[in-house]
Amino acid sequence: MGGALPFEERSVEMNDRLSLPDLVAGVLGDYLTKRDTQGPDDILIKDAAGDVLLWLTKPGIGLKKICTFLRPGLNGLIERGSISFSPTTPQELTFITIFD
Yes or no: say if 67 and 83 are a contact pair by the CB < 8 Å rule. Answer: yes
Q: What is the pTM of this model?
A: 0.58
Burial string for 13-36 (b: 16+ CB within 10 Å, else e) reads eeeeeeeeeeebeebbeebeeeee
pLDDT digits (tens, 9 = 90+) for 16-56: 667 778 888 888 888 888 877 887 777 777 778 878 888 88
Domain locations in the chain as residue ranges: 12-83
Nearest CA among 17, 83, 87, 81 for reference residue 59: 87
Task: Determine how many CB atoms are found less than 10 A away from the CB of residue 43.
Answer: 14
